[in-house]
Amino acid sequence: MKSLKYFFKKAKKEKWAIGQFNFSTLEQLKAIVSAAERLKSPVILGTSQGEVNFFGIEEATLLRDLYRKKFPYIYLNLDHGKDIDLIKKAIDLGYDCVHFDGSILNLQENLKITNKIVKYAHKKGCLVEGEIKSIHGGSEIHKELPKEVLFEDIEKAKEFVKKTDIDSLAINIGNLHGVYKKPIRLNIKHLKKIKEEISVFLVLHGGSGTSKKDIKEAIKNGVVKINVNTELRIAWKKSLTGSLKKKIIKPYKILPPVIKAISDLVQEKIGIFESINKN
């Protein structure tokens, strides 16, 4: 069984990225897995705390194991973990990666807790993603762009990476969670500077509503993991609303178009990330 780290290394070398697709319903999960299987693309199933508290952490882990029988390269990440007990539980249950979001803490406090999590996670073969500067927005439709654009403080990031043993870092290069009226543009110059100074795997949050050209440039310049959530949520709601308008009441007739809509979108993203046929 190839590990997630194996694919991060391969992606870095060959300049492509693994998509993290978040889910909180079975239709979303089925859609992501079917796209991965169809395209032979490794994927990360993302669960935020809210998503996994709704779906069930045991259920998420068991279903990953079940789907791995059809296509092995399906990994689980706890996205924006802040609750230490939940992070530990995810590690104990066999999550492949946990993202500790200590961005609201001061650097010293963030370092201290990140180090504890890394120690615990690495013993169980789980990777850890760190975060220093909070990424704006939530995975929703936003009316207004935030007033300021955030950029990673490279000196702080260097210190953080030096003093922890994190595997990957969630970076700020103009990326935002959620979708806005205009496509989000990334600052590739800043990414190039980060890449020169930081050796850990680079993660781009806020993959929804971002300029396709910039995403491709980001991948060329070292990003190996891209998180997508809002666009999947929008596809889920739009297709479900459309399906519910029909007179049918059988769930197994209502839900297949929802799964197809989400799966088509995941397929499109996998194409942009160039992770097809990587098993």
What are the residues binding ligand 13P (CB under 6 A)? 22, 79-80, 139, 177-178, 205-208, 227-230
**H/E element, 70:** none
- Distance CA(49)–CA(212), nearest Å, equals 28
Instruction: Tell me the closest approach of the beta carbon of residue 214 to ligand 13P, in angstroms.
Output: 13
Residue 212 CA to residue 75 CA, distance in Å, equals 24
Strand partners, 61: none
Catalytic residue among 79, 96, 101, 214: 79
Q: Least distance in Å: CB of 81 to ligand 13P?
A: 11
Question: E strands within 176-216?
Answer: 201-204
At closest approach, how far in Å is the CB of 100 from ligand 13P? 13
Q: How far is CA 96 from CA 38, 52, 135, in A?
A: 22, 15, 23
Question: Among residues 178 and 222, whose Cβ is nearest to ligand 13P?
Answer: 178
Supply the minimum distance, in Å, between the C-beta of residue 228 and ligand 13P.
Answer: 4
153 given a catalytic annotation: no
> Cβ(78)–Cβ(99) under 8 Å?
yes
Strands 18-22 and 127-131: what pairing? unpaired
Compute the distance between CA of residue 218 and CA of residue 145 in angstroms, rounded to an integer: 21
Q: How many Å from the N-terminal Cα to the C-terminal Cα in the chain? A: 10
> Catalytic residue positions?
79
